[in-house]
Amino acid sequence: MGVVTDPQNWQSPTDDGQNRPRYGEQVPPLAPRGDDRRLGWSVPSGWTPPPRPGLIPLRPLGFGTLLWAPYQVLRRNPKATFGSALLIQAVVTLATLVVVGSVTFFALSRVDSAPLADRDAVQAGAWVSIALSALIPIALSLVAGALLQGVIVLEVARATLGEKLRLVQLWRLVGRRLWPLLVWTVLLGSIALLALSLVAGSVVLFVTLGGVGVYLGIILGFLGVLLFIAGSAWLGTRLSLVPCLIVLERLGIRRSVRRSWSLTNGYFWRTLGVQLLVAVIINVVSQVVVTPVSILFSVATSLVDPNASFDAYLPSVILYVLVLFVSLVLGAVATVIQSATVALIYIDLRMRKEGLDLELARFVESARGSGATDPYLVGAAGTETPGA
């Protein structure tokens, strides 16, 4: 509210000059045309309120926005994001403990009860059984990782438009693109495993030759690890947008790879820097939280279990469960933030290169139920036609 100091020069937008306030009388502050019907301002026909803001401003994002926006994803829709991550990681962890733990227990029990003459063969079979049992949680973790990454990517995309989907909705929509996501995850893991196998095999080959070969193997191993890290950073950055393209643009793997390479062209260092900085922040925070709990677990185990009695194990079991729970929570948070960072980078690059911000603003301003095309589809921007 303001106070009139010169009633001769004051006039409201709807006043014809006959109803000026007296000196010292409080009046409502001036507002833009059509801003508030309650004050009697004239509202043009067809005027609509501005669209409700979403997760991020609909414009190319600054470096700071790319850093803080992933944390807003957790706050904005925690049930769908953090809940999905925690549920998936808990299932994978439980499956690992049950499957690998059970196989390990029975395999080692069989080794202990085997005759001395057959113990070596039984022990070898036990290790093979344990290794094979580990393939089950590995496969499950691949499926879970692909599903979770797709869920977070879709949540960020819809949150940018001001939408808030439930957990079941996100899972159902991502389930339609789960197969290409899973194939891409397996393909990346296979490439990394093959590269490491080549480096390790070359080192072993030179070391077995003896003499100078040992030194050559050490040098080759050192250079191979450096090359692997550099190659992983380069390829990982250029191809980091593939999951976003598979889910949001509904492209196949081959076209997603080409398009990710094209979008990151000219923005490699920015993309790598944001992802590295977010990963460093997450790791530092995780270590600050997990390290004291782990130290407490180690100290408590040595103090309360001097005689290896069953009762003394109970505090250690409780602390171990606490460490496991903290690790699950932090792992879920880290997964959500890192996946959200990649999704935000994808949206930012499309805003900068293809004017996606205009498409998003047009979609948000359009009436609900008008049948507007999904703005994330490449065909909506008129550049390409999405593939299957």
Indicate if the pLDDT at residue 35 is higher than 80: no
Would you tell me the crossing angle of helices 310-354 and 268-304 to the nearest 10 degrees? 170
pLDDT (average), residues 225-246:
92
For the ranges 39-48, 231-240, 299-308, the lowest mean pLDDT is seen at 39-48
**36 vs 134, residue with greater confidence:** 134
Read off the pTM. 0.76
Over residues 54-78, the pLDDT tens digits come to 788 888 888 888 888 988 888 888 8
Q: Which pair of structure tokens corresponds to residue 167?
A: 């957990």
**30 vs 188, residue with greater confidence:** 188
Over residues 253-298, the pLDDT tens digits come to 999 999 999 999 999 999 999 999 998 998 888 888 878 877 777 7
Task: Write down the pLDDT at residue 372.
Answer: 66
The dihedral built from the CA positions of residue 285, 291, 296 and 298, taken in this order, carries a sign that is positive
In the three-class reduction of DSSP (H, G, I as helix; E, B as strand; rest coil), residue 26 is classed as strand
Distances (CA, A) of 59 to 25, 174, 353: 43, 26, 12
Task: Write down the pLDDT at residue 154.
Answer: 93
Task: Write down the pLDDT at residue 140.
Answer: 81
pLDDT (average), residues 218-228:
89
Q: What is the average pLDDT score of the chain? A: 78
pLDDT (average), residues 127-132:
79
Q: Which residue's entry shows tokens 């007296």?
A: 22
Q: Which pair of structure tokens corresponds to residue 386?
A: 């999405």
Q: Is 356 exposed, middle or buried (0-12, 13-18, 19+ CB in 10 A)?
A: buried
Cβ–Cβ < 8 Å for 275, 341: yes
Nearest Cα neighbor of 364 from 77, 164, 162 is 162
Percent of the chain at pLDDT > 90 equals 22
> Amino acid identity of 337?
I
Task: Write down the pLDDT at residue 256.
Answer: 94
Indicate if the pLDDT at residue 342 is higher than 90: yes
Cα separation, 60 vs 38, in Å, equals 36
Task: Write down the pLDDT at residue 314.
Answer: 63
Task: Write down the pLDDT at residue 315.
Answer: 64
**86 vs 20, residue with greater confidence:** 86
pLDDT (average), residues 96-104:
83
- In order, the DSSP letters of 111-153 are HHHS-GGGHHHHHHHHHHHHHHHHHHHHHHHHHHHHHHHHHHH
Task: Write down the pLDDT at residue 14.
Answer: 44
